[in-house]
Amino acid sequence: MSDDADELLPPYVGIGLADVRIVRTDAEAAAALTALSAADAIGFDTESKPTFAKGEVSTGPHLVQLATDDMAYLFQTASAAGNATALTVLKPVLESERILKVGFGLGDDLRRLRTKLGIEPRNVLDLSTALRRGERNTLGARTAVARFFGQRLQKSRRITTTNWALPRLSEKQVLYAADDAHVALKIYRHWSASRGG
Mean pLDDT is lowest, of 5-9, 58-62, 88-92, for 5-9
Q: Write the pLDDT tens digit of every residue in 112-144.
A: 999 999 999 999 999 999 998 777 777 889 989
What is the predicted pLDDT for the residue at 2? 46
17 burial class (0-12, 13-18, 19+ CB within 10 angstroms)? exposed
Q: pLDDT-derived band of residue 81, with 50, 70 and 90 as boundaries?
A: confident
Average pLDDT in the 156-177 region? 87
Top-confidence residue, 134 or 10: 10
> Largest alpha-carbon pair distance within the chain?
47
Residue 46 has pLDDT above 60, yes or no: yes
**pLDDT above 80 (res 82):** no
Domains and CATH numbers, the chain: 3-190 (3.30.420.10)
Q: Would you say how long the chain is, in residues?
A: 197
